[in-house]
Amino acid sequence: MLERFTSAARQAVIDARYEAGRAGQDKIRSEHLLLGLLAEPGQAADAMSAAGLTLEGLRARVPRGNHPGPANLDAEALAALGIDLDAVRRATDATFGPGALDSVAVPGRKRLSMADDGKQALAGALKHAVRLGQREISSGHIMLGIIDQRHSGALTVLTEVGTDIGALRADVMRRVAAAA
């Protein structure tokens, strides 16, 4: 299904994997997809930004787990050595493709699988794209897949920060329709 994703939507899923690892979680959940969407320019990020949501604000609400972070890359420790981890990621992505640095096999580190609510969000994204007659799945479709779940970690996070879910959904839907 990922081959039908726009490059920004695909990168948002890669970013979600990073966010799950960063939070010490063993699976990629809907709240990690939410963070990945906000980190990548697109319909979902635009709508969330318009609603006053920030990556830092949402990240602070995502539950932490007990697993080590991605590849044990400590941005602060590297910065103390004069290494900008974000610059390294951008250069690696440009040379080897999006998410290359985080996809390197590290001994003792397991790959993160998608949790049920994450799978439901992606399945919902596909349904929205098909229903709207769109061939590609955008970040907006993924956002709609997240919002349309009855119960998920992402909806809990959005509710905790006071987001008007109905207004956010309407804004995302407008942006998705305008891109058609």
Contacts of 20 (CB under 8 A, 6+ apart): 27, 28, 29, 32, 112
Domain boundaries, given as residue ranges, for the chain = 2-20+27-62+113-179, 69-108
What's residue 126's pLDDT?
A: 94
**In b/e form, how buried is each residue of 60-98, taking b as 16+ CB within 10 angstroms?**
ebbeeeebeebeebeeeeeeeeeeeeeeebeebbeeeeb
Asked if pLDDT for residue 68 goes beyond 70, the answer is: no
Q: Could you tell me how far CA 70 lies from the centroid of its own chain?
A: 15
What's residue 89's pLDDT?
A: 76
Query: What angle is formed at CA 47 by the lines to CA 41 and CA 49, rounded to 5 degrees?
Result: 75
| Helix (H) or strand (E) segment spanning residue 29 | none
22-47 pLDDT per residue, tens: 888 989 999 999 999 999 999 999 99
What's residue 107's pLDDT?
A: 46
Give the least confident one: 50-59, 69-78, 145-154, 171-180: 69-78
pTM: predicted TM-score of the whole model, two decimal places: 0.77
What's residue 74's pLDDT?
A: 65
Tell me what the pLDDT averaged over the chain comes to: 86
What's residue 77's pLDDT?
A: 73
CATH hierarchy code of domain 2-20+27-62+113-179: 1.10.1780.10
Residue 147 near residue 155, CB atoms below 8 Å: yes
